[in-house]
């Protein structure tokens, strides 16, 4: 394994990158109307001198922070890309989007929505999305100008809480242009006052002009929270954060293998295990209950026979999976 992961060249890694995207696109029987790209860097701790490892002050650790890219509507993995342990730059984000959009050419009528947290709100990213037909909805860091712009909204939420003594949420939208932005853009403000009377003010920037502020924030933007669950499946169920090689190319090869494993496990759960007790199970549960089955191995002259136990807890699910795989193979 060590020799294999260190053997891959950069051109081989690019081929694997595009193969993962092709695998994702091949899951659609017909072109989808929309694809939501959930992009989220995730922490990989470093315990040596790996290339690209940097000290992250927020995490107080040396780490890598690879991009994880998911289909926000289905949880399918699109790709993963290794990167240093720091806030992503506009160049990194645009390079990733450019390569994904390139493969999407086979679905020319499909709309792409880019969804991410405030670390991805860069003027260059906004402009790239505008120039390439992507819609975006991205978190926006608070600042004094935004707080003044939405001062009435914040006051309204405080007043509503003062009158009712119950938690409340108020939404509003306005047009805003930062000094580095090429044009004014729509900002959505969410003000949540909890049961203790403490307000939580959050902003998002979006290219959606007509949809309601409440819908865009609660339904569209907050849907990206599922990406944390997908990353948990990949890191805890498939150990995708095992990036302990010294070379960055070797670690990229490793996370590509984990990405391929995620795509296979997701397909298994969504198709083979549909309608069973494991249809919504985490990957580590599927691995422990379905894949780790004891067997007696009998090696013969011309073949090897695996004798499975006559009885075990989810034998019916296992038999269903075997029947489907046998039908696919034949």
Nearest-CA neighbor of 16 among 243, 253, 246, 249? 253
Burial of 96 (0-12, 13-18, 19+ CB in 10 A): buried
Write the DSSP assignment of 249-280 as a string of letters: HHHHHHHHHHHHHHHHHHHIIIIITTTSTTTT
Q: Which residues pair with 189 in a beta bridge?
A: 172, 203
Check residue 308 and give its pLDDT: 85
Type and span of the H or E element at 7: helix 2-7
Please report, for the chain, the start and end positions of each structural domain, with discontinuous segments joined by +: 2-138+212-272, 293-329
The two beta strands, 34-41 and 67-71, are antiparallel
Report the greatest alpha carbon distance in the chain. 83
Q: What phi and psi values does residue 80 have, to the nearest 5 degrees?
A: -135, 140
Between CA 153 and CA 134 the distance in angstroms is 30
Helix, strand or coil for residue 197?
Answer: coil
Q: Across 151-237, where does the E strand assignment appear?
A: 168-176, 185-193, 199-206
Q: Which residues pair with 168 in a beta bridge?
A: 193
Check residue 2 and give its pLDDT: 59
Q: Which CATH architecture has domain 2-138+212-272?
A: 2-Layer Sandwich (3.30)
pLDDT averages per 10-residue partition of the chain, 330 residues: 75 95 94 96 89 90 94 96 95 96 90 96 97 96 95 93 91 95 96 88 95 95 92 90 89 94 94 91 91 90 90 86 80
Between CA 201 and CA 17 the distance in angstroms is 38
Q: Please give the C-alpha separations between residue 133 and each of 56, 128, 262, in angstroms, as whole numbers.
A: 34, 9, 29
């Amino acid at each position: 394994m060590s020799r294999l992961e260190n053997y891959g060249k950069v051109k081989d890694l690019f081929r694997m990158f595009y193969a993962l995207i092709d695998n994702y696109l091949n899951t659609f029987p017909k072109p989808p109307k929309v694809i939501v790209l959930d992009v989220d860097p995730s922490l990989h701790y470093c315990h040596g001198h790996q290339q690209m490892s940097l000290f992250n002050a927020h995490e107080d650790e040396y780490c890598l922070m690879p991009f994880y890219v998911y289909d926000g509507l289905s949880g399918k993995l699109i790709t993963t890309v290794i990167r240093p342990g720091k806030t992503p730059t506009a160049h990194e984000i645009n390079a990733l989007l450019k390569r994904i959009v390139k493969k999407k050419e086979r679905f020319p009528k499909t709309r792409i929505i880019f969804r991410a947290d405030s670390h991805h709100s860069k003027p260059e990213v906004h402009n790239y999305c505008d120039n390439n037909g992507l819609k975006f909805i991205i978190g926006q860091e608070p600042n004094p100008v935004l707080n003044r712009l939405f001062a009435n909204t914040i006051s309204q939420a405080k007043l509503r809480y003062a009158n009712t003594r119950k938690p409340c949420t108020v939404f509003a939208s306005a047009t805003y242009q930062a000094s580095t932005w090429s044009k004014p853009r729509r900002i959505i403000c969410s003000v949540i006052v909890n049961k203790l009377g403490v307000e939580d003010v959050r902003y998002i920037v979006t290219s959606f002009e007509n949809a309601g502020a409440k819908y865009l924030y609660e339904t569209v933007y907050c849907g990206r929270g599922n990406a944390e669950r997908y990353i948990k499946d990949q890191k805890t169920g498939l150990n995708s954060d095992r990036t302990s090689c010294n070379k960055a190319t070797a670690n990229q090869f490793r996370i590509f293998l984990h990405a391929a494993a995620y795509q296979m496990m997701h397909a298994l759960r969504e198709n083979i295990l549909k309608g069973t007790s494991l249809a919504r199970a985490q990957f580590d549960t599927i691995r422990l209950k379905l894949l780790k089955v004891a067997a007696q191995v009998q090696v013969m002259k011309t073949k090897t026979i695996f004798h499975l136990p006559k009885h075990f807890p989810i034998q019916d699910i296992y038999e269903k999976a075997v029947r489907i795989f046998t039908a696919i193979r034949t």
